[in-house]
Amino acid sequence: MSGTVVIPWYATGFRADGFAEALNELAAHAMRYGASSYAVYRARDDRYRFQQFACFDEHLDWERYWAGPEMTRFRVVHSGWYQVPIVYGWWDLTASGSLLEERGAGNGRAGDGAGVVEGETS
């Protein structure tokens, strides 16, 4: 059954920016292991706090990512850059929604099809 893995990370002092860069790169590797999407969020009120999300159809794919060479290398190279333990959770989506931004026609009239009126400039 598909689910989303949520991994809370907390960077150590003065490492937050470098950690963000390394975590963003690492998170993208989830796609190689069958993730349908991934995301990394950084808290606005605490710039050392991060949430990594990865959606997998199979729990086994997640386990392969978590134990894979990219994640292992990340944990070794950046071991002093985040606090331990890392306690991830497997979550099920119960509701979602979004708004799609309407794209205009590029004529400044929100796509109403109107042309330039005589005397106006485009």
How much is the pLDDT for 114? 58
What is the domain extent for residue 26? 3-91
Does residue 55 fall inside a structural domain?
yes
R_g of the chain computed on alpha carbons: 21
Number of domains in the chain: 1
Does residue 22 fall inside a structural domain?
yes
* Gap between the Cα atoms of 84 and 18, Å rounded: 17
* Gap between the Cα atoms of 9 and 39, Å rounded: 13
Q: What is the pLDDT of residues 21-43, one digit of tens each?
A: 999 999 999 999 999 999 999 99
Band (pLDDT 50/70/90 cuts) for residue 103 is confident
CB neighbour class for 30 (10 Å; exposed up to 12, middle 13-18, buried from 19): buried
Does residue 104 fall inside a structural domain?
no
CATH (domain of 34) = 3.30.70.100
Does residue 99 fall inside a structural domain?
no
